[in-house]
A and B are shown apart, each in its own frame.
Chain A
Amino acid sequence: DAGVIQSPRHEVTEMGQEVTLRCKPISGHDYLFWYRQTMMRGLELLIYFNNNVPIDDSGMPEDRFSAKMPNASFSTLKIQPSEPRDSAVYFCASSYRQGLNEQFFGPGTRLTVL
């Protein structure tokens, strides 16, 4: 298996622009997680899905952030409008219920908002 795939790997955009991050989980996994990592705040869980349904979005910072999972093999995290404080590395991870909770992380998307 190719592992969790994220795109793009790097994104540089200007304040006010819309940003869309994409994730393809490992086939057969039924949980998908979105995290944000910064030096100041560490690793934060933004939202997670089970069987394509959002379970907990309490970590989403504000209404500018939204996430969707239209099917079992694809998810997006959208920021609109983006702000410089959104600059971070965003990770997607997936796991499956029978897998004793091991989460498999993607390589991350480094977002820079100018």
Chain B
Amino acid sequence: GDSVTQMEGPVTLSEEAFLTINCTYTATGYPSLFWYVQYPGEGLQLLLKATKADDKGSNKGFEATYRKETTSFHLEKGSVQVSDSAVYFCALESGGTSYGKLTFGQGTILTVHP
């Protein structure tokens, strides 16, 4: 079945550091890929998405590229801020009979210090 694996956390960085959170997936067909973010005490919200191979999703300085050959969708940001401290979830939607259903990774806690 479908699955998503994220790098182990927590990740602790200083402000303005470079961020990478690795995400790899297993799915049938050609899934759509997502990154969701959860700020403390809130529900998840969509950060960015990519629907086909080689697409790059971007939002708020975050980027991720859909790599079909390596089945990966790594999240990157060039310069993190304290306000980026949150939990980040990689997810996929494989369509077909599972249309609309997201499979989430386990989440990666990011803490950014001033």
A interface with B by C-beta (< 8 Å):
4, 31, 33, 42-43, 45, 48, 50, 55-56, 91, 93, 95, 97, 100-108
Contact between chains at B107 and A101 (CB < 8 Å): no
B interface with A by C-beta (< 8 Å):
32, 34, 41-46, 49, 51, 89, 93, 98-102, 104, 106-107
In the complex the two chains form, what is the Cα distance from A49 to B104 in whole Å? 18
Question: Would A56 and B45 be within 8 Å (CB), given that A100-B51, A101-B93 are in contact?
Answer: no
Question: Would A101 and B100 be within 8 Å (CB), given that A43-B89, A43-B107 are in contact?
Answer: yes
Closest to B51 in A: A100
Contact between chains at B44 and A91 (CB < 8 Å): yes
Q: For A93, what are the chain B residues with a Cβ–Cβ distance below 8 Å? A: 43-44
Which of B43, B93, B102 contacts A106 (CB under 8 A)?
A: B43
In the complex the two chains form, what is the Cα distance from A107 to B44 in whole Å? 8
Contact between chains at B43 and A4 (CB < 8 Å): yes
Question: Would A103 and B89 be within 8 Å (CB), given that A42-B104, A56-B101, A95-B100 are in contact?
Answer: no
